[in-house]
Structure 1
Amino acid sequence: MLILDGMDVRAALTMEDCIEAVREALKIFARRECEQFPRFQLKPATAAPLMGLMPAFQGGDMPVWCLKDVLVASGNRARGLDSHQGVILLHDGTTGEPLAVVDATAITAVRTAATSAVATLALARPDARRIAILGSGTQARAHIDALRIALPGAEIVLWARSPGQAGRLAEEAGCRLASTIEDAVVDADIICTVTGAREPLLRRDWLKAGCHINAVGASSPQARELGTDIVASAAFFVDSRAQAMVECGELLLPMREGAIGEDHIRGEIGEVLVGARPGRSSADALTVFKSLGMAVEDMAAAVCALRNAKTMGIGQEIRWRAG
C-alpha cells in the first residue's frame, strides 16, 4: 500500500493531468459507468469539525473502491491550516485490498479547480478572456492555476474580503486586485466564487451579457453565493442532480421562495460533455455551474496521482497484511 502525503500529491498530480482525469470521470458518471453513493455529513453536538464521508466505485479492467473522509474546520484559517482535512482510501475493487492512502486536502484543492476549468471550457463563450475570482484562499489560488491552463493569456482579477491576503495572492500570481466585488465582475466573462459566504455576493445588473459563473464556495442547503435573481435568470448546471437537490442552497432557497421549480437544472456537466444535454444556448446567455464536489472526481484524481507516483517512485510504501 502506498501512502501519498500532500507533498507527494502535488508532485504526482499536475493540474493538466487532473483536468483530463476529471473530464473523463464526469463523462463516465454521465454514462453511469461508475457508481457514486450518497454522501454523509456528520456534525457532533460540540463545536468539533464536520465530517463528510464520500464513497464511490468504478468497475472495468481495473475496478476501484474509493472512500474520501473530509473534515471541515472553519477555524483553521486562523491556525494557518486549510479548512478541509482528510484522506482518500483506494481499495482494489475485486479483492478489497487497500491500495493507497492519499492526502485529501491536496486532492480536493486540485480536483475542484480542475472541475471548474472543465465546466468553463464546456459552458463559457469561446471568446472569453476576462476572469474574476472572488476569494483568496486555497481554492482561489488553485482556480488561478486551472483557468490559466484552460484559457492561456486571459486577464484575471481578484477580490476578497481580506484585502491583505488578496493583495499578496494577486502580487504572487500576477493578477489585478479589485477594491470591490462590482469592480471585479463588471467586465468579467467568467466569474468564480470560491468564498465562505453564506449570503449572495453578486447582483444581476453587475453581470456582463454572456457571463459564465462557477459557483464553488457554498455547500449546504442554507448557504449560497448567488442570489435568486441570478439563479432564476441563468441556465443552471450542476455536477450531480441528486446531490444538488439535497445540498445546493443556490437551488433550494429559490425553490422555497417559489422563484424556480425542480426542473430548473438544465443538466449535469458530464451530460453536456457527452452530448446528452445542450450547453450554452446563445452568446448572451448567462450560464452557472454549481460545483458541490463529487466522490467520482476524488477517485479519478487519486487514481491518477497513484499511477503517476508509482511511475515517479515517490510516496511511502508499506506492507499490508489483512487479519
Structure 2
Amino acid sequence: MSESPTIPTTPTAGGAPASEPVVPAFSVLNGRDVLALLDGRERETIDRVARAYLAHEAGDTVNPDSYFLRFPQKPEARIIALPAYLGGDVEIAGLKWIASFPGNVASGLPRASAVLVLNDFATGYPVALMEAGSVSAARTAASAALAATTLGGGNPRSVGVVGGGVIARTICRYLAAAGVPLTEVRCHDLDADSATALADHLRERYGSEAAPAGLAEALDCDLVVLATTAAKPYVPADTRLRPGQLVLNISLRDLAPEILFEVDNVFDDVEHCMKADTSPHLAEQLSGGREFVTGTLAGVINGTVTLDPGRATVFSPFGLGVLDLAVGHDLYRRAREEGLLVELPEFFGETRRWPSSV
C-alpha cells in the first residue's frame, strides 16, 4: 500500500465526485532535518537501496535517462535532472535536480547541491520539496556499502579512497555502518589538504590507521573507492587489478576502458552506464560490444549473476533516480510522523477544476 497522500473523492451514481476534493498539502523539509533523520540509520538506508535495486530489476520502476544541463562558459559544471517512479510498497514519483559545480570547492562550498520533489502517484500532485544534497550522498554511499558487502567476498584488509570530498567521507561512514573494517585506509587526492583532512577524519572517528597516499598505493588496496570529479580516465590502461580486489567505480570516469576487459563488471543498470563517456561507455566504444558486462548488482543479490573468483570486480553505478525516491520517501514519511514538515497550505493556486460560481 502507498504511504503517500491521495486526494479522496466520493463518486456519485453519475460518476462525478459528490464531495469536495481535497488537495494534498505541499510541504518543505530542510537540510538540517534531513541530516538528523539520516543520522544513525545507515543500515536502514542500505536496506531501502537494496529493495529499490530489486524493484528496478523486477521492472517495478520507471527510470528514464538523466538529463544534463551544461554550460559553454562552465564546461566543468552541470545540473542534472533525474525523474523516476518507484512502485512496490512505495508508489511515489519524483525528480531530483542536482547541481555539480566543482569550482565551489575552492571557496569552501560543497561541490554538489540538490532538491528532491516528491509527487503523489494517485493524483500527480507534488507533495514535498526537500533538500537533497544529503539524500544524494546517502543513497550513493548506501549503494557503495551494499556493493562492498555483496561483491567483496570477505573483509578487506586495506581500503584505498581516491577523492577526498563529501561523497568519499559519506561512503566511509556507510562502509563502517555495514561492518566493512576501516582499519587501514590510504587516502589520495590531487589536493593534498583534502587527502589529509579525510585521513584525519577517519582516524578520529573510526580509529583507523589512515594516511595520505599516492595513487598507486591507494589502487593497490583490497577495496578501492573512486570518488572524484574526473572528466576522463587517468588510471592508465596497463593497470592490472588482482583477483579478489573490488573497485567501487563511483565517479565512473577514472579507469582507462582497457582495464574493464580483464575484470568482472557489475552495474546498477547497464543501459544507464553506457553513456556520457563513462569508462564502461568508452569500453563499449573501444570493443564494439558489451561482452565485458557481467551483470547487475541486483542480479548478484538474487543469485542470477555469478562472479569469477579469479578476477577482480569493478562496480559501476550510474546513480538511479529510484534510489533518491526510496530514501526521500522514507524521510518524508518519518518527517510527517515527527512533525518536521513545514506545510504551505495555499501553495496551489486553484484547488478545484471549476470554481463553485461557475
Change (3 A) 1:109 1:202: farther
> Equivalents in 2 of 1:267, 1:4: separation in Å?
37
Whichever residue aligns with residue 70 of structure 1, its letter is I
Residue 218 (structure 2) pairs with residue 184 (structure 1): yes
Whichever residue aligns with residue 111 of structure 2, its letter is S
Residue 29 (structure 2) pairs with residue 4 (structure 1): yes
> Equivalents in 2 of 1:50, 1:74: separation in Å?
9
> Equivalents in 1 of 2:130, 2:94: separation in Å?
11
Whichever residue aligns with residue 18 of structure 1, its letter is T
Change (3 A) 1:161 1:62: closer
Query: Contact 1:248–1:292 at 8 Å: present in 2 too?
Result: no
Whichever residue aligns with residue 196 of structure 2, its letter is G
- How far residue 289 of structure 1 moved from its aligned partner, in angstroms, is 0.4
The correspondence of residues 1-323 of structure 1 with structure 2, limited to 5 A, is 1-13=26-38, 14-47=41-74, 49-60=77-88, 62-155=90-183, 156-174=185-203, 175=208, 176-186=210-220, 188-197=221-230, 198-201=232-235, 205=239, 207-218=241-252, 224-258=253-287, 261-278=289-306, 280-282=307-309, 284-319=310-345, 320-323=347-350
Query: Relative CO higher for 1 or 2, CA cutoff 8 Å, sep ≥ 6?
Result: 1
The 10-residue stretch of structure 1 (229-238 or 198-207) with the greater mean CA deviation from structure 2: 198-207
- 2:3 paired residue number: none
- How far residue 63 of structure 1 moved from its aligned partner, in angstroms, is 2.3
Please report the RMSD computed on the Cα atoms of aligned residues, expressed in angstroms. Answer: 2.1
Change (3 A) 1:256 1:96: closer
3-state secondary structure, aligned to 1:262: coil
Structure (1 or 2) with the greater helix fraction: 1
> Equivalents in 2 of 1:26, 1:62: separation in Å?
13
- Structure 2 residue runs of 5 or longer lacking an equivalent are 1-25, 351-358
- Structure 1 residue runs of 5 or longer lacking an equivalent are 219-223
Q: Which deviations, in whole Å up to 9, do the C-alpha atoms of 1:259-305 show, x marking residues without a partner?
A: x7223211121222222322x221x4200000211101111111121
State the TM-score, normalizing by the size of structure 1: 0.90
Change (3 A) 1:101 1:307: same
The 10-residue stretch of structure 1 (138-147 or 52-61) with the greater mean CA deviation from structure 2: 52-61
- 1:221 paired residue number: none
> Equivalents in 1 of 2:211, 2:64: separation in Å?
41
> Equivalents in 1 of 2:90, 2:312: separation in Å?
40
> Equivalents in 1 of 2:180, 2:275: separation in Å?
36
> Equivalents in 2 of 1:61, 1:118: separation in Å?
21
Whichever residue aligns with residue 71 of structure 1, its letter is A
Whichever residue aligns with residue 143 of structure 1, its letter is I
- How far residue 61 of structure 1 moved from its aligned partner, in angstroms, is 5.4
Query: Contact 1:132–1:190 at 8 Å: present in 2 too?
Result: yes
Change (3 A) 1:127 1:73: closer
> Equivalents in 1 of 2:294, 2:277: separation in Å?
15
3-state secondary structure, aligned to 1:230: helix
Whichever residue aligns with residue 86 of structure 2, its letter is Q
- How far residue 74 of structure 1 moved from its aligned partner, in angstroms, is 2.1
> Equivalents in 2 of 1:204, 1:122: separation in Å?
27
The 10-residue stretch of structure 1 (199-208 or 123-132) with the greater mean CA deviation from structure 2: 199-208
- How far residue 127 of structure 1 moved from its aligned partner, in angstroms, is 3.7
Whichever residue aligns with residue 276 of structure 1, its letter is T
- How far residue 217 of structure 1 moved from its aligned partner, in angstroms, is 1.4
- How far residue 165 of structure 1 moved from its aligned partner, in angstroms, is 2.1
- How far residue 2 of structure 1 moved from its aligned partner, in angstroms, is 2.6
